[in-house]
Structure 1
Amino acid sequence: MEDIIGTTAGVLTSVAMVPQLLKVIKEKNVEDISGLMLGVLITGLSLWVWYGFMKGEWPIILSNSFAILVNLILAFCVFKFKHKN
């Protein structure tokens, strides 16, 4: 049961930003996205990955690595689209 809860939590938190990313890509509007929030979030996710490696917990490593990827793409979009307005 612990593995099911942990895996479900990892999947849900990992995909949480995907709708925001898709909206940003579609609309090319990043006016309401905070670069500072993304920086803090990516730092926190990176620490979770490090923690996962220290504990040997692949669900933590994989889910947070995916979340880092999504948020790095979002950060790239913020950088790219913020200068177009």
Structure 2
Amino acid sequence: MAAEELDRGTVLKVAAEIPTLKPGWLIIEGGEPLLRSELLFEVAEIMHKNKIRVYLISNGMLLDEEIARRFAELDVNLMISI
């Protein structure tokens, strides 16, 4: 993990607070989010349970069938940048 990345606990703490703000959606971007796909699944699940749409911007290089399936189950909208 790079020094400027948030640790898992901090990310999950922030994710748990987001629903209290009642946003309609959350955009996840910056660097390559799929480098931390397991953490993304945890965040997406929190948002899914709270009916908050998730938009994920990725270069798609790490995307595989399993990741795509799991994101689809959580209604994550995946945008590929080129």
State whether TM-score is above 0.5.
no
Higher helix fraction (1 or 2): 1
Q: TM-score range by the shorter chain?
A: 0.3 to 0.5
- Normalised to the residue count of structure 1, the TM-score between the two structures is 0.38
**Higher relative contact order by CA 8 Å / sep ≥ 6: 1 or 2?**
1
